[in-house]
A = this chain, B = another copy of it.
């Protein structure tokens, strides 16, 4: 019996070490994903938050008069969808920093709050991406049915910056989606 116990000990030790190393690996991966989410959402908020372009455009004030050239500005906060996108990315970025601090501190009691807030960030970011993309595409293409003309042929740089911000925000939201997915699958594996 004693020899059996002795023989099984190194096996158990190896198994425990493997489990501990896997858990450590998962934690490192979680931390890296949170850093990535922070960087992407911060960049998305900044790129859209500083977006502004002024152009001199010929405008017809009266039908009987020739058009007058006037400077016209395009600013991100002129469209509510872009304001929502900047706000959502700023919230997600702040939360990523907070959750990173919580993860580094290793407080296990906060895990349920982090899981719920990660999920809320997925909902928040995907809804703002949908809104910004819908308005951005309308700016690129216009729509003849509702007579909304495209504006990106005039404000090209402004629109390109919007596209970059939406792409960064989309990547950030995919990182949050990945965070929730991997956590759920890990918990599912653990609970079996």
Contact = CB atoms under 8 A, between A and B. Distances in A.
Contacts of A119: 122, 177, 180-181, 184
A135 to B, nearest CB: 5
Interface string A100-124: 0000000000011001100110111
Nearest to A111: B188
Contact of A79 (B122, B126, B146): B146
Interface stretch (A2-10, A25-33, A44-52, A136-144): A136-144
Interface stretch (A11-19, A35-43, A91-99, A147-155): A147-155
A6 to B, nearest CB: 30
A148 B144 CA distance: 11
A143 B79 contact: yes
Contacts of A123: 122, 126, 173, 177
A179 B42 CA distance: 29
A115 B188 contact: yes
A188 B61 CA distance: 64
Contacts of A151: 146
9 contacts: A79-B146, A81-B130, A123-B126, A126-B127, A129-B130, A148-B149, A180-B180, A180-B184, A183-B184
Query: Which are the 5 A-B pairs with shortest beta-carbon distances?
Result: A130-B130, A127-B130, A131-B134, A187-B187, A190-B191
